[in-house]
Structure 1
Amino acid sequence: MTDLVAVLSTGKGTWGHVSRLIAEGDWDNIFLITNEFGRENYSGEKDATMCVVNSRAPMDELIAEIKEHLKGKLGDDVALNIISGSGKEHMALLSALISLEVPFRMVALTTEGIKEI
């Protein structure tokens, strides 16, 4: 089965995309990279692990935070969605996954459903 890792942060309308992606997918585990605002205000239909990070931290600290949240928790099939969030958050997440040697594929919600992109 598949684990979903998604950024849940800034970007108008992106929370709706992430919510629908979560609701429509058959995920073993869901990890949301977010901030305090996201932890306090997001509520989804399925259980998700909220990986709260300080996106204002220097890049190396942000990468380390994400690695700490995800290390040893992801399986061999990881779906990644970065429609929400900033470029800095995206770069930190990609760096963390590569550093942890986690294989991943990019996914998005389209008019035809969830697609690998």
Structure 2
Amino acid sequence: MTDLIACLSEGKGTSAHVAKVIEGMEWNKVFLVTTSLFKDRLTSKNLNKGKEVEIIAIDTRKTITEMSAEIRKALEGKISDLEVALNIVSGEGREHMAVISALLHLGLGIRLVALTREGVRVI
């Protein structure tokens, strides 16, 4: 099983999309990268669908390099394979760049996944 890393931020419908990606496949581990402000709202939402979810809160006032370092530190030693599934439907470009940078610095390959009409698929 692959680990899933998904960006999750404010945006109409993006929480539902990420929740369906989480429940749509079997994942070894799920990591949600979100803003420090949005993290507090996640406790009241049922995003985990019975799966273990680790939330990585980043400070979006920092530079992309600093955010990447935060994400890398949070993920170091926790990924179980040489590649991860990545969903970046939610979030902003700076957050996406920080996540991709962190994953590549960790030497990981990425497979982009998204919810499609046929279910969760690698795109």
TM-score range, shorter chain: over 0.9
Identical amino acids, percent of aligned pairs: 44
Is 1:95 the counterpart of 2:101? The answer is: yes
- Aligned-residue Cα RMSD (Å) equals 1.2
Q: Distance in 2 between matches of 1:38 and 1:25?
A: 25
Deviation at 1:71, TM superposition (A): 1.2
SS at match of 2:12: coil
Deviation at 1:97, TM superposition (A): 0.7
One of 52, 71, 75 as aligned partner of 2:76: 71
Report how many aligned residue pairs link the two structures: 117
5+ residue gaps, structure 1: none
TM-score for the superposition, normalised by structure 2: 0.89
Q: Is the 8 A contact 1:10 1:86 kept in 2?
A: no
TM-score for the superposition, normalised by structure 1: 0.93
5+ residue gaps, structure 2: none
Q: Is the 8 A contact 1:30 1:47 kept in 2?
A: yes
